[in-house]
Structure 1
Amino acid sequence: MQISKSLNPQIVVARNGQGKLLSKLLNKPLKSITRRTNRSEVLDLICRRNGYEFRLIRRWFAEEKRFCLWLSNLSVKEFTANDIMDIYRCRWQVELLFKELKSHTNWHRFATRKETLVTGLIWLSLLALLLRRSLASRLFPAVSLLKAAQNTEVWLWPIIENLLQRAWSETCFWLEKAQAYLCQNAFKTPQRKSCKYKTLDACFERLNA
């Protein structure tokens, strides 16, 4: 989990991002380790606070000039510091997906109290989200999925309607219209360098490397 920067435990074991032991950091409070005293971009630490020991990952984001902290109980032998950070980014991407699911698929209320119908509607909503994301990405690789989700009645609904009616020529027409609309209205905002590797695909690529 990501934690508050106000945490200041004592360092028991210290390694850099490559796993090299840093004996000079032992028994020091976390906040005493600044960019001046240690230039490691990533620190993989075992810390102690109130009698409890825990693993703490700290990374320096140079472009934003800030530290980010992660608390984990995953084994140092099985998971590197980079693994921990990638796993957290995957969790965050899943959270964003469900935020989109709730915000843009009318999950605020259902017009039924039957459990089976509600379950079916939830699955249909998830399928609709995956369809929307997949189609938008194929039509325009630089698309902002959040922006694409906001105006589906403009670009997605006509495609679905014509597909259901098997109107193939009209479907092709609306696919071209959708591509033009997404290129103009759903362009992804350029990301900071530190954010480029936070996408779900980028995380999966590193975890499977």
Structure 2
Amino acid sequence: MNNEFITFSRPLKSFFDKISIREFARKTKFMQRIRLLQPECFLSTLIQTLSFKDHANLADILRIMDSEQETSQYKPFHNQIKKAECTTFIQSMVEEATKALFLAPFKQALPKETPFKNIFLHDGSSLTLNPRLKEEFPGRFTKTAPAAIECHLTMDLVKGVAHYIALDADKESEKNYRPSEKGLKETLVMMDAGYFDIGYLEKISQSGGFFVVRAKANINPLVVAKYNEMGTELFHNEMKLKELKSKDHDFVDMDVQWIKTNTPFRVIQFYDRKRKGKGYLITNLNRGQFTGEKVLSLYGLRWQIELFFKELKSFCSLKKVNTVNPNIVKTLIWASLLTLIIKRYVALSVGILWQTIISTQKTCRSSICWLPKLMNYLKSDEQDISLLDEIFSFISKNCRRSNTKRDRETEMFTSDLIPYCQIKYLESYLHKKRA
């Protein structure tokens, strides 16, 4: 398996190459001249420190950096991390890591019969900041969180990584950061009720895209047709949705029409256990190919973006950011995203090599046991296969999903879509490297 270890570690090794990191530092004007603080050491220290904490602490980062370089970095560290160019540098490294580790090597893996080629999930997550930052990042809740920043994220579900990221004040409308309908051709996008907008969904259909979006509970379109769970049309007279005599637990698949649009929509009524009442999904997926139950299962995959945010906040130091410098806030958020990208790539690689299902959350939680060793390997000029074997073996034994029988009964695996459809193109990538 030595060749396979090298195959999966090569993109990481290339990403952490000292020369390329310094080139990014110069290109982003983060460091024009390399002095006491070296950008490659700065980057690896950020990743290691943020990987072990539930909140970002500059003192912890500095201590690890001092221990590695065996000299005090206090002044150069604080001078560099507070610069706007530092944020640009880390952001560019996030974009490069996404491209090098997830987008460039791997090909499309969705089944041929699926009408869409990509699946995007979009949502936002807010982070409370020091109240002194309320001018730069005003929050929606002025009493409890006067300062807060929102991370707007579009996740590529097939590849398990962020496709688009934006940071802005929590007070700004989240609809400003939803995916552009022009870029959703042959793409399925899934969003929560906060992004429900009939005009926007109509434009997605017109551009050749697909959607499954949770509708607001107060919608009242004209119901023009009604179907059962098997897709068989039921006798029905046209009436408003609120006039439809259906119970909370009834499953109803409908064709509906809004007065302000000419586009017909498909609405699925289901029982919402959380709210203990009716819930609605709106979609343009074909009923012949996607039954109502199938649409519900697909929408259940939207939970993956919540898990992404959970890993970011709990295992990559985004629960709390202790600083009053707005540039440092954004730098640490981008650094946390970079940390999660590295962890997810390693988890995915181990899953392929051992042909097993690896939990990304367990991999994140246990990173204190393996990530320092990995960083030492990546910074070394030697190819220490025994160290890689130790790292990958630890993850394969300790980070497997605990209930694979249940997993295989869920939409994640039975649909052959997410997340281990990645196995297909990773295997293809691996075989090409062997050849």
Q: What's the TM-score once normalised by structure 2's chain length?
A: 0.34
Match of 1:29 in 2: 245
Q: Confirm or deny: 8 A CA contact 1:14 1:43 kept in the other structure.
A: yes
Cα distance in 2 between the residues matched to 1:33 and 1:153 = 46
- Mapped to 1, the partners of 2:266 and 2:310 lie a distance apart of 29
Structure 2 Cα separation of the partners of residues 13 and 33 of structure 1: 19
Q: Deviations over 1:22-73 (max 9, x none)?
A: 2269886322886xxxxxxx742368xxxxxx9642569xxxxxxx95433x
Mapped to 2, the partners of 1:192 and 1:24 lie a distance apart of: 39
Query: Which residue of 274, 285, 293 maps to 1:79?
Result: 285
3-state DSSP class of the match of 1:31? coil
Q: Which has the higher contact order (CA 8 A, sep 6+)?
A: 2
- Deviation at residue 103 of structure 1 after TM alignment: 0.7
Q: What is the aligned length?
A: 177
Match of 1:95, as an amino acid?
A: E
For 2:361, the aligned partner's letter is: L
Task: Indicate yes or no: 2:395 matched with 1:182.
Answer: yes
Equivalent position to 1:104, from 315, 320, 342: 315
* 3-state SS, counterpart of residue 233 of structure 2: coil
Q: State percent identity of aligned pairs.
A: 24
Does structure 2 retain, via aligned residues, the 8 Å contact 1:87–1:203?
A: no
Q: Matches of 1:186 and 1:110 in 2, distance apart?
A: 28
Distance 2:237 2:373 in 1: 61
**CA 1:46–1:151 in structure 2 vs 1: closer, same or farther (change >3 Å)?**
same
Structure 1 equivalent of residue 372 of structure 2: 157
**Cα deviation, residue 125, structure 1:** 1.0
Letter in 2 for 1:96: L
Other structure's SS at 1:79 match = coil
| AA partner of residue 400 (structure 2) | F
The alpha-carbon distance between structure 1 residues 145 and 159, as it changes in their structure 2 partners (threshold 3 A), is same
What does 1:137-152 correspond to in 2, within 5 Å?
137-141=348-352, 142-152=357-367
Gaps of 5+ in 1: 4-10, 35-41, 48-53, 61-67
SS of the residue aligned with 1:13?
strand
Quote the RMSD (CA, aligned, Å): 4.1
Provide the C-alpha distance between the structure 2 equivalents of 1:43 and 1:193, rounded to a whole number of angstroms.
27
User: 1:146 is matched by which residue type in structure 2?
Assistant: Q
SS in 2 for 1:156: helix
Whole-Å Cα distance in 1 between the matches of residues 231 and 315 of structure 2? Answer: 43
2-structure distance, mates of 1:167, 1:19? 60
Distance 1:56 1:128, change over 3 A: same
Cα distance in 2, alignment partners of residues 80 and 146 from structure 1: 34
Whole-angstrom distance in 1 between the partners of 2:393 and 2:316? 23
Structure 2 spans left out of the alignment, 5+ residues: 1-192, 194-213, 216-222, 257-264, 272-277, 422-435
Take 2:269 and 2:325, find their aligned partners in 1: how far apart are those partners? 47
Identify the residue that residue 342 of structure 2 maps to in structure 1.
131
Distance of 1:92 and 1:14 partners within structure 2: 28
- CA–CA distance in structure 2, aligned partners of residues 33 and 13 of structure 1: 19
The CA deviation string for residues 125-168 of structure 1, in whole angstroms up to 9 with x for no partner, is 11211111111111124101111111101122211122123342
> Which amino acid counterpart does residue 22 of structure 1 have in structure 2?
L
Query: In structure 2, what is the Cα distance between the partners aligned to 1:200 and 1:120?
Result: 38
1:91 counterpart (302, 307, 321): 302
Alpha-carbon distance change, 108 to 59 in structure 1, aligned in 2, over 3 angstroms? closer
Helix, strand or coil: the match of 1:140? helix
For residue 88 of structure 1, what is the amino acid of its counterpart?
Y
Q: CA deviation at 1:196?
A: 3.7
Please tell me the residue identity of whatever aligns with 1:99: K
Deviation at 1:181, TM superposition (A): 1.2
Aligned equivalent of 2:383: 168
- Residue pair 1:86, 1:203 contacting (<8 A) in 2 also: no
The 2-side partners of 1:147 and 1:200 are apart by: 24
Cα 1:103/1:201, change in 2 over 3 Å: farther
Distance 1:31 1:124 in 2: 48
Q: Contact 1:89–1:203 at 8 Å: present in 2 too?
A: no
Q: Per the alignment, in what secondary structure is the counterpart of residue 143 of structure 1? A: coil
Q: Which runs of 4+ in 1 moved over 6 A?
A: 24-27, 198-201
- Aligned to 2:253, the other structure's residue is in SS state strand
* C-alpha distance 200-33 of structure 1, shift in aligned 2 (>3 A): closer
Letter of the structure 2 residue corresponding to residue 182 of structure 1: I
